[in-house]
Amino acid sequence: MTSPDQRGKTVRDYIRTIENFPHDGIMFRDVTTLFADPRGFRMAIDQMLHPYAGVTIDKVVGLEARGFILGGAIAHQIGAGFVPIRKAGKLPGAVISQAYTLEYGEAVVELHEDAIAPGERILLVDDLLATGGTAAAGIKLVERLGGDVVSCSFIVDLPDLGGRALLDGLGMDVHVLCAFDGE
């Protein structure tokens, strides 16, 4: 039964904003409150799945770390495999690496070199699209292994930071559940 305070809520309503984290002037969009609520979490997963009804997806790739939570749930629902893209040094075995630029420096993400077979259709997921650097690096890794990124899906878009424009420029199909202005 739906309680009165749950009716009419959107995914955005479950996301908490924390001011000045991790730096002054940043409005941090915290999806852990969404994940903690069973109704909110189910709503987010269902809405992230909706655009892919009838679309063949072989594997869901989740970006570290909250993309693992989403990616595992989505992969389970559609009967696809799940593949993590991790920060450098976290995966055992042979990996390929991709450096990318952050707002405050550079980082590297890695993917097992045998995680994606050529021609596999991939859905890339994460919780938040900001500058798009991590997602673009993930796309490059998948494509280097011969995978076809069918689409990218996020809960939150921060359009002021330009990530959507970056992914659109790469020719990606992008789906987001909600957007917040600012950083």
- The verdict on whether 42 is a catalytic residue reads no
- The verdict on whether 19 is a catalytic residue reads no
Tokens representing 15 are 């996301």
Residue 116, CA distances (Å) to 9, 69, 78, 157, 171 in order:
37, 19, 17, 27, 20
Catalytic residue among 39, 64, 66, 143: 66
Helix (H, G, I), strand (E, B) or coil at 72: helix
Catalytic residue among 12, 16, 103, 183: 103
Per residue in 90-129, is it b (16+ CB within 10 Å) or e — as a string?
ebeeebbebebeeeeeeeebbbbeebbeeebebbbbbbbb
Residues with catalytic roles: 66, 103
